[in-house]
Amino acid sequence: MKLAVYYSGDFGSRVVGNLVNYSGFCISCADACTECRNVAPDLAKDIVALVEMPDPSTYGDFIDDVEPLLPQDIPKVDLVIVINIHPDILYGLLPKFKDAGVKAIIGGSESPKEMPLG
């Protein structure tokens, strides 16, 4: 499976850290750590692109022209994960993902009000 992640903010960075099973990423257990992440799956080999997108809070509720904000090269992947992306930018990305042959999209946000309905 080939994967691309389009993200912004700390939440997006945390998701990426979990996907690649970054060493030292998890600090939850502190001194009680049992190194459980050593057996967690590492998806780094499957990630084709990590694209940091503009923070949605830097824009208003509506963006009239999203084209200048969209990445020009969309890799052909099986799955795209979008995290904390402005809804208008996300809508602008959808046809580009389709044209690139993306088979599925997973969307997430630390702030539910940032994700569009549907």
The confidence score (pLDDT) of residue 24 equals 65
pLDDT computed for residue 53 by the predictor: 92
Identify the pLDDT of residue 110. Answer: 54
| Number of domains into which the chain is organized | 1
Cβ–Cβ < 8 Å for 90, 107: yes
> What pTM does this model have?
0.79
Could you give the angle at the alpha carbon of 55 between the alpha carbons of 44 and 106, nearest 5°? Answer: 45
Domain that holds residue 49: 3-114
Rounded to an integer, the average pLDDT of 24-41 is 70
Instruction: Report the alpha-carbon distance of residue 4 to residue 105 in Å, rounded.
Output: 10
